[in-house]
Structures are given as structure tokens and as C-alpha cells.
Structure 1
Amino acid sequence: MRLRAVTQTDRDLIAMHRYPDEADQAERPVYAAWVAGALARDRYLGFVAVNDGGGGEEVVAGAGLTLLDWGPSRGDPQPDRGRLVNVWTHPAVRRQGLARTLVTLCLDAARNRGITHLSLGTSPAARGLYTALGFEPSGTEMTLRR
């Protein structure tokens, strides 16, 4: 298993992680184009876990961080906020710590940029992971303030 940062060549894969259901297939090209632009502007950071098998590279998990131009606010001069997105793990390798590792890489990237506020949307199944990483419930979202 190897970890690497996402690149422009991953935009379609990231879109599939965002919209995994076939019913949402029409959304994928639009999202892939957005990811390509966000990567080019350095407003999307992401990481994937890959298996390098005989058939080439297979992505088995991923996580991304969207940087939002929020503007400074009272008590926080940092103009950016972070939103954790596209956390996905292939069912065959779930519960092995890959999501935690990739999310931690995203959190480290946010910290390196001075981002103090992060948010995410989550499912009940993943809430424990995010709580363990310091996120707190906030309505239908979870947030982390440093």
C-alpha cells in the first residue's frame, strides 16, 4: 500500500468517489471539471491509498480537502476555511485505518496552511472516526476548531 497526493489525472476518480451511485453518473463530469479547476488553483488537496499490482495502480481509498475563501472573521484572521470531502474506502479494505490516515494527511495539509476551521458532512457510520479526530457535531455537520 502506498499513499500519494492526488493529481489532475485523478479528477474522474475523485468525481466517482463523490458520486458513487449510478443514478448520479451524470453529475460526475461536472464535478471532475470542478476538481480539475480547483487543483489548478491549489484550492483542492487530496490523498489516495493505492495498491501497485501487476495490472497497474489501483486506488483503494481517498480523501480530499476543499479550501474555501471565507474571509477573516472576528477572532480569526485566517481567510480560508477547509471542508473535508470525498472520503472513500473500497469495501474490501475498510476498517484498516486508511480513512483515518488519509483524513489525517488532509488535516496536516490544512494545519500547514494555517487553516483553523474545518467542517464536513458525515454518515452515522463515520461519525466515530471524525469524533476521534477532534471534530464535534454542529447541526448536520461536524466541525473542528484549532
Structure 2
Amino acid sequence: MIRPAVPADAPVIAVHRSPDEVDAPERPVYAAWVADALERGLYVGFLAVSDGGEVVAGAGLTLLEWGPSRGDPQPWRARVVNVWTQPDWRRQGLARELVICCLQAAQERGVTRISLGTSEMGRALYEGLGFRASGTEMALVLK
């Protein structure tokens, strides 16, 4: 069963963000942000739940007030984040269903541009949903 995420799910979503990494100490900060963003409507999440009630997969959508741009008067952009499935639940279409829920949520909000980061393992999933690589972005980390 797929259900919308609620603020109480924020700790689980924080684990999905970094399930195997050593930055577990940062999870409470991210969980607090997710809970607040869910309440304010700036994060929309979906969770796949087993018959026993265990969250086995999830995906989220961060909504960003980007401002209108040339050729697109819609000020909102979205980014698909925190797509994760427990290893023993993979290859069953859960991630695809969850991302589709995110895309529908974006469309319901009038969002026309959606981005995401991917691994090689996830690339085929996203390409199958219409995402294309965009090599125009750059980043800088200010210290």
C-alpha cells in the first residue's frame, strides 16, 4: 500500500536519505526539516508500507519557489528526493510507483519543471519516466 507521508514519518524519511552513510548524527536535523516542510507543504512524500505496517520504500518531492524564468511563468520547481527501497523489496516496481505519485503531486501543484539526482542503478527508472540528463548545472560550496 502507498500512503502520503506525515510529519511523524520524518525520522524514517531521514534514514531513506542516507541509509548506509556515516552521517547518522545529521538525521535528526534533516528529520526536523522534513517534518516542518511537510506541515508547510514544501515537501510531499509517499511511503510504501507492507501488510505488517513496515515502511519498505519511499520517495519525496521538495517544492522550491524558484521564480518565473524565460519561457516559463510558473515560479515553482520541484526536486525528487529520498527515493529508496529496502533491498529485499527492490525490483517490484515500488520506486516507480512512488516517483509517479511525486510527479502527480507536482502536476497538481502546477509545477512544470522537476529535477533529481540519480545513481547508475536508478537511471533507467527515471529515463523510463521521461527524465533526461541535463549537463548545464554547476555547484559551489561556500565555507
Question: Taking structure 2 as the reference length, what is the TM-score of the superposition?
Answer: 0.92
How far off is 1:118 after superposition?
0.4
Provide the secondary structure at the position in 1 that maps to 2:120. coil
Report what 2:100 is aligned to.
104
Report what 1:45 is aligned to.
44
Report what 1:117 is aligned to.
113
Larger fraction in strand: 1
Q: Distance in 1 between matches of 2:113 and 2:44?
A: 16
Report what 2:89 is aligned to.
93
Q: Distance in 1 between matches of 2:136 and 2:56?
A: 27
How far off is 1:106 after superposition?
0.3
Structure 1 letter corresponding to 2:75 = P
Structure 2 letter corresponding to 1:121 = G
Contact 1:69 1:81 in 2 (8 A): yes
Report what 1:35 is aligned to.
34
Report what 2:123 is aligned to.
127
Q: Does residue 75 in structure 1 map to residue 71 in structure 2?
A: yes
Structure 2 letter corresponding to 1:82 = A
Provide the secondary structure at the position in 2 that maps to 1:115. coil
Gaps of at least 5 residues in structure 1 are: 142-146
Report what 2:16 is aligned to.
17
Q: Distance in 2 between matches of 1:36 and 1:112?
A: 21
Could you tell me the percent identity over the aligned residues?
Answer: 66
Q: Distance in 2 between matches of 1:36 and 1:9?
A: 7
Cα distance change of structure 1 residues 6 and 140 upon mapping to structure 2, 3 Å threshold: farther
How far off is 1:52 after superposition?
2.7
Provide the secondary structure at the position in 2 that maps to 1:10. helix
Provide the secondary structure at the position in 2 that maps to 1:49. strand
Q: Distance in 2 between matches of 1:93 and 1:8?
A: 24
Q: Distance in 1 between matches of 2:117 and 2:42?
A: 19
Cα distance change of structure 1 residues 113 and 9 upon mapping to structure 2, 3 Å threshold: same
How far off is 1:139 after superposition?
2.5
**Structure 1 runs, 4 residues or longer, greater than 3 Å off:** none
Contact 1:19 1:27 in 2 (8 A): no
How far off is 1:8 after superposition?
0.8
Cα distance change of structure 1 residues 64 and 9 upon mapping to structure 2, 3 Å threshold: same
Report what 1:144 is aligned to.
none
Provide the secondary structure at the position in 1 that maps to 2:23. helix
Q: Distance in 1 between matches of 2:135 and 2:23?
A: 26
Q: Does residue 84 in structure 1 map to residue 80 in structure 2?
A: yes
Aligned length: 137
